[in-house]
Amino acid sequence: MTDTLAPANPRRFTALDVFRGLTVFLMILVNTAGPGAPAYATLVHAKWLGFTLADAIFPSFLFAMGNAMSFATRTRIDTAPYLTRLFKRGAIIFALGFLMYWFPFVMRTDDGLAPIPFALTRVPGVLQRLALCYVAAGLLVRWLDVRAIVIAGIVLLFGYWAILLVLSAPGMAYDKFGTIGTQLDLWLLGPGHLYKKDGGFDPEGLLGTLPAIVNVLAGYLVGLAVQRGASLTRTVRMMALYGVAFVLAGLAWSPWFPLAKKLWTSSYVLLTIGIDCIVLAGIIALVEIAGVKRGTRFFTILGRNPLAVYLFSELFVTAINLIPVGEDGGLYGWVGIEIFQRIAPGAFGSLLCALAYTMLCWAVGWWMDRKGLILKA
């Protein structure tokens, strides 16, 4: 089957790399809030139902993945090498995510260091969900046209809602531990392989992957529209209008299917797709149409090497926190409390600490960019 849009524009859009780089920057900033004081509420994920700025970031990463997929599939290759590449990349990303959570592979005990057993290692996670969504979306866009992709997205969103309502215990569809998604994770994986900080609930559980695929598909369709639209100005205008419509649709659905990042509800999917469309439309308008290039390299450095920078950000903060320093625990805790909390006590000091660490990660990305090093799964 073929889609109904015009032939693709072969050029790469800087704005898409800026969008992806901005997403990576915010993801690191949120994930590494400085210790010693609570972070600003908007930079912390909602505890269960609700929505904050932090909740918009992970879906944007999926949306950006879909954008990149639309460019990667411009040149059609035979099915066998396509599937080989798709599953190989998905497997590598999944394995990197698994190893990232297993790191540093040892833990302190009363008898010294001991290996962290496989039975206590988390299986779901951020990169793991990215991998599963990447493979699923890659299969769908290979054989479906634009209309069929839209229908598939609708089926996934309403199908997920139906699964929660029908298969969860009565009244437990949106309960953290009673919902069918948590019960499925506990049955398939067991509590030892799930997120350790939420009492047996995993925010990247298997069932929540279904609606998350739609975030990737939306990014893919937007990427196609940007490439193939006859007028970029008109495409951007329509993208912004669709974005507003998606935001309103998500909010309108939320009284029946509440906004919840940890449950990855379908209303949350619509809201975040809408936000991404509006933000990306604004970036394209500035960078591609108005020609504003100043400052774009700051984000494209991260956008061209997102996997490497994200992995570094997660692994390095874990590594430095293994260095014991006084009563503050690890080195990152000491820096956050003894330096940044002294400079600016409270949430602002926590933000400054996170910003400093994010800039360190950016510097690693800059070095890799300068050396021409790109981590490709």
More confident residue, 348 or 13: 348
**Residue 114: enclosing H or E segment and its boundaries?**
strand 112-115
pLDDT of residue 87: 96
For 159-183, give the secondary structure using H, E and C.
Answer: HHHHHHHHHCCCCCCCCCCCCHHHH
Nearest residue to 137 (alpha-carbon basis) of 82, 207, 65, 30: 65
- In this structure, what DSSP letter does residue 335 have? I
More confident residue, 12 or 6: 12
pLDDT of residue 167: 95
Q: What band does 373 get if pLDDT is binned at 50, 70 and 90?
A: confident
pLDDT of residue 72: 84
Instruction: Please state, for a pLDDT cut of 90, what percent of the chain lies above it.
Output: 76
* Lowest mean pLDDT, pick from 8-12, 66-70, 200-204, 313-317: 8-12
Secondary structure class of 35 (helix, strand, coil): coil
pLDDT of residue 311: 94
136, 305, 16, 243 alpha-carbon torsion, rounded to 10°: 50
pLDDT of residue 1: 33
* 55 and 45 Cβ atoms separated by less than 8 Å: yes
Instruction: Find the largest Cα–Cα distance for the chain.
Output: 68
User: Average pLDDT, stretch 222-240?
Assistant: 92
Q: Is the pLDDT of residue 338 over 70?
A: yes
pLDDT of residue 196: 83
The structure's pTM equals: 0.92
Mean pLDDT of all residues belonging to the chain? 91
Q: What band does 11 get if pLDDT is binned at 50, 70 and 90?
A: low
pLDDT of residue 106: 82
Q: What band does 9 get if pLDDT is binned at 50, 70 and 90?
A: low
Q: Is the pLDDT of residue 131 over 60?
A: yes
* Lowest mean pLDDT, pick from 5-9, 176-180, 200-204, 221-225: 5-9
* 55 and 269 Cβ atoms separated by less than 8 Å: no
Nearest residue to 270 (alpha-carbon basis) of 56, 111, 69: 56
In whole angstroms, how far apart are CA 73 and each of 17, 55, 135, 152, 213? Answer: 17, 29, 13, 19, 17
Distance CA 222, CA 249 (A): 18
Which tens digits make up the pLDDT trace of 252-296?
Answer: 999 999 999 999 999 999 999 999 999 999 999 999 999 988 889
* 222 and 67 Cβ atoms separated by less than 8 Å: yes
Long-range contacts of 322-326 (CB under 8 A, 24+ apart): 322/104
Owner of token pair 């929540």:
208
pLDDT of residue 304: 87
Backbone angles phi, psi at 107, to 5 degrees: -140, 155
User: Average pLDDT, stretch 319-343?
Assistant: 87
Q: Is the pLDDT of residue 4 over 50?
A: no
pLDDT of residue 372: 85
Which tens digits make up the pLDDT trace of 68-105?
Answer: 999 888 788 899 999 999 999 999 999 999 999 999 88
pLDDT of residue 6: 39
Distance CA 296, CA 153 (A): 32
Which tens digits make up the pLDDT trace of 150-198?
Answer: 999 999 999 999 999 999 999 999 999 999 999 999 999 998 898 888 7
158, 270, 236, 7 alpha-carbon torsion, rounded to 10°: -30
In whole angstroms, how far apart are CA 68 and each of 6, 14, 82, 239? Answer: 19, 12, 15, 17
Distance CA 19, CA 228 (A): 19
* 309 and 26 Cβ atoms separated by less than 8 Å: no
Q: Is the pLDDT of residue 3 over 50?
A: no
Q: Is the pLDDT of residue 111 over 80?
A: no
pLDDT of residue 328: 59
Q: Is the pLDDT of residue 209 over 80?
A: yes
